[in-house]
Amino acid sequence: MDEWLRTASEFGVTVIDAMALAVILYGAVEAFVSAVWVHLTSSTGNQRREVWLRFARWLVAGLTFQLAADIIETATSPTWNEIGHLAAIAAIRTFLNYFLERDLADIRGRQIGKLKKEEKTA
């Protein structure tokens, strides 16, 4: 039973790592194409910021998958190296998520401010 669980968890970790790779790769390609497009067209700072916010969302999603894979891997055979790796991934994900949420709240506040300003002038 123990060997079956190890084999299943190794397979699961490989699959989840592949999903994380796919998510991050897709986000990177999308961000690259969008950044080139925004750069070539007459764009505003908000459009550039939106490109990076979308990219950050993809990174957070990818890191969340990696965190899941690391949790499974650490649960089956924890070593201090793996626990340190897990802690680093969790810290990076938390750091990115915090700043992403802060930027999204800032953008929402600006949009609400614009709407209120437009209502007053209408």
Tokens 């910021």 — which residue? 49
The mean pLDDT value of the chain amounts to: 85
Range of the domain at 7: 2-121
Number of domains observed in the structure of the chain:
1
User: Cα 16 vs. chain centroid, distance in angstroms?
Assistant: 15
56-68 mean pLDDT: 87
Decide if 89 contacts 70 (C-beta within 8 A): yes
Rounded CA separation 75/85 (Å): 13
**CA nearest to 63, candidates 11, 33, 98:** 98
User: What does the pLDDT average to over 34-58?
Assistant: 85
* 8-32 tens-digit pLDDT: 889 999 999 999 999 999 999 999 9
pLDDT of residue 57: 85
Enter the pTM of the model.
0.74
**What percent of the chain is modeled with pLDDT above 70?**
98
